[in-house]
Amino acid sequence: MALAPELSRQTKLKEVAGIPLRDSTVDNWSQIQTFKAKPDDLLICTYPKSGTTWIQEIVNMIEQNGDVEKCQRTIIQHRHPFIEWARPPQPSGVDKANAMPAPRILRTHLPTQLLPPSFWTNNCKYLYVARNAKDCMVSFYHFYRMCQVLPNPGTWNEYFETFINGKVSCGSWFDHVKGWWEIRDRYQILFLFYEDMKRDPKREIQKVMQFMGKNLDEEVVDKIVLETSFEKMKDNPLTNFSTIPKTIMDQSISPFMRKGIVGDWKNHFTVAQNERFDEIYEQKMDGTSLNFCMEL
């Protein structure tokens, strides 16, 4: 019997300063660390599966003043380079960013301590989106299942342990969100919550617009709300990653844009897992003023 593609994967993560990352990222680490940020760069920062593509599309539409045609110039992955992305022989995220005209919009999943130092010295703008840990864990699990360049996640129960121990790509969710939250007043950081974006997209889009120094008519903002809805983006080949080859993302296993809801964790966590997670969460998040909504 042939093994299912998700079982035959041999991919291993490597580590930088204790943070697990994709091997190709680690192999390209010196280029990433010496990246030269510019003062007018806007960096979209997220832990994986926290609404990265969503906030990208929002930022893109604001940047293009709501012009849908301009937003459709290319697939979303090519609009805002991932700083740490590397897949030789293709150009790396750094190569793509270096070739971009200013002002640039870039993105990263890196925790604060691994960000190229030039971002801090240039006082860039950062847009951070945080999603509650339980939904993030579930979404990342399904992404792991379909993403052929990440290790096989095993069963849900096995992956549950991997996630709570911070052994997934980009490391601990707890450390990531706390790291960005703790420095939000020291730098130009707009810290948003995925759940607020679901609850009141218009209000959150207006915050992003102001942060980007844009002033768009209400009519345009309403259009952006509509165009960046989950349903619209799920059906849009420019945002749903359907152009990516199956050898990298096998969407027959799980779609890249799956549900986009708040509270799907309830369909995965057992009662025992939920109790255990809540205990760990309390320990890890002790002393932080971060507050997440777990269901809408």
Looking at per-residue confidence, does 248 or 274 come out higher? 274
pLDDT reading at 133 higher than 60: yes
Peptide linkage before 89 cis (omega within 30 of 0): yes
Per-residue pLDDT tens digits for 46-88: 999 999 989 998 999 999 888 888 777 676 667 789 999 998 8
pLDDT at residue number 255: 60
- pLDDT tens track for 256-276: 666 677 888 999 999 999 999
Q: Which residue has the tokens 């590397």?
A: 86
pLDDT at 109 over 60: yes
78-82, 92-96, 171-175, 241-245: the lowest-pLDDT one: 241-245
**Does the pLDDT of residue 201 top 60, yes or no?**
yes
With 60 as the cut, is the pLDDT of residue 236 above it? yes
Provide the pLDDT for residue 254.
63
pLDDT at 295 (0 to 100)? 84
Query: Is residue 165 a contact partner of residue 23, using CB atoms and an 8 Å limit?
Result: no
> Catalytic residue at 109?
yes
Q: Do 211 and 190 touch, CB atoms closer than 8 A? A: yes
Which residue type sits at 238? L
Catalytic residue among 109, 142, 176, 268: 109
Name the least confident of 86-90, 143-147, 169-173, 212-216: 143-147
Give the pair of three-digit tokens for residue 33. 């660390």
Cβ burial of 8 (10 Å; 0-12, 13-18, 19+) is exposed
| Residue range 196-219: mean pLDDT, rounded | 95
Identify the pLDDT of residue 16. Answer: 96
Name the least confident of 70-79, 142-151, 183-192, 199-208. 70-79
Q: Work out the percent of the chain whose per-residue pLDDT is above 90.
A: 68
Q: Which of 183, 187, 145, 179 is nearest to 162 (CA)?
A: 145
Q: Is the pLDDT of residue 283 over 60?
A: yes
Amino acid type, 294: M
- Segment 169-196 shows an average pLDDT of 97
The one-letter amino acid code at 51 reads G
pLDDT grade for 238, boundaries at 50, 70 and 90:
low
d(CA 54, CA 256): 12
CB 129 within 8 A of CB 192: yes
3-54 pLDDT, tens digit per residue, is 344 444 567 899 999 999 999 999 999 999 999 999 999 999 999 999 998 9
8 Å CB contact between 107 and 44? yes
> Whole-number mean pLDDT of the chain?
88
